[in-house]
């Protein structure tokens, strides 16, 4: 269980996030919706230890981990799948996966890599290819696989469907569902609200650096107009 409360994050004098709260639980999907620049990525990066928050609290399974650096957050069982995937293009698929397992022992890395290959057979087929040669959807699976290498209980995903063709979005969302069914908890930022709402258990709307709405996915679906109004953008096709 992850509980983030009243997070504040600055970039120098710029207060990008001022009052973001959300939670995520094992075996559940929390979806964070919000317009461009709302502070979604900043919040995820701060929770994952890539940027120190100014204030607020991040509690993972009852332990406060606020401000802990990323490598320590990974050891506590939470991994970030970053915006834009951040794959190392010149490295092979397998080398990218090994980077995700950098906190684990060698024997554990081999075992976990086998599990990742079982989950994403395409990565096994392409394991010696340069990662830059993969399609966008395959690169997203590699980004998932790299995060899975640390055997997380919770994964933070920043716009996994970004830039993908609609059929690929479906494939990526199906693999997200597969990870949840295996008992991983997921907190996912998505601009593709329709695809995300189909999977979500809980929905959080972030507007201008603040959490302004939290509810169940059913409430968000029936309240599409409200969510739409808060996003301020045409993020929902038929709202």
Considering only residues 172 through 211, tell me which ones interact with Mg ion, judged by CB under 5 A. none
Least Å distance, CB 167 to ligand ATP, is 23
Distance in angstroms (rounded) separating the CA atoms of residues 33 and 228: 10
234 binds ligand ATP per the rule CB under 6 A: no
- Please tell me the distance from the alpha carbon of residue 84 to that of residue 191, in angstroms, as a whole number: 13
Pick 40 or 228: Cβ nearer Mg ion: 40
Separation of alpha carbons 104 and 93, rounded Å: 18
Choose the contact partner of 39 out of ligand ATP, Mg ion, none; CB within 5 to 8 A by kind: ligand ATP
Q: Which residues of 81-117 are buried (b: 16+ CB within 10 A; e: fewer)?
A: bbbebebeeeebbbebbbebbeebeeeebeebbeebb
Report d(CA 87, CA 83) in Å as an integer: 10
Binding residue (CB under 5 A) for Mg ion from 41, 96, 161, 202: 41
Footprint of ligand ATP on 9-38 (CB under 6 A): 11, 14, 16, 34, 36-38
CA distance linking residue 142 with residue 135, whole number of Å = 10
Q: Does 205 bind ligand ATP (CB under 6 A)?
A: no
Q: What x-and-dash track marks residues 38-77 binding ligand ATP by CB under 6 A?
A: xxxxx-----------------------------------
Positions touching ligand ATP (CB under 6 A) are 11, 14, 16, 34, 36-42, 83
Positions touching Mg ion (CB under 5 A) are 40-41, 83
């Amino acid at each position: 269980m992850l509980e983030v409360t009243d997070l504040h994050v600055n970039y120098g004098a710029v207060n990008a996030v001022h009052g973001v709260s959300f939670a995520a639980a094992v075996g559940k999907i929390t979806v964070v919706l919000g317009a461009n620049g709302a502070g979604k990525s900043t919040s995820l990066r701060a929770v994952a230890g890539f940027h120190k928050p100014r204030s607020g609290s991040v509690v993972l399974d009852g332990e406060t981990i606020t401000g802990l650096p990323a490598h320590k957050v990974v050891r506590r069982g939470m991994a970030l799948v970053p915006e834009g995937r951040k794959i190392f293009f010149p490295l092979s698929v397998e080398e990218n996966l090994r980077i995700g397992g950098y906190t684990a022992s060698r024997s554990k890395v081999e075992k976990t890599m086998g599990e990742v290959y079982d989950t994403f057979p395409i990565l096994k087929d392409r394991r010696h290819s340069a990662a830059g040669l993969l399609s966008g959807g395959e690169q997203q699976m590699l980004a998932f696989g790299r995060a899975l290498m640390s055997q997380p209980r919770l994964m933070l995903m920043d716009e996994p469907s970004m830039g993908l063709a609609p059929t690929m979005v479906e494939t990526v969302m199906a693999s997200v569902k597969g990870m949840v069914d295996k008992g991983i908890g997921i907190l996912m930022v998505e601009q593709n609200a329709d695809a995300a709402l189909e999977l979500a258990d809980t929905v959080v709307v972030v507007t201008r650096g603040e959490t302004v709405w939290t509810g169940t996915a059913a409430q968000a679906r029936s309240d599409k107009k409200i969510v739409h109004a808060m996003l301020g953008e045409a993020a929902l096709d038929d709202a």
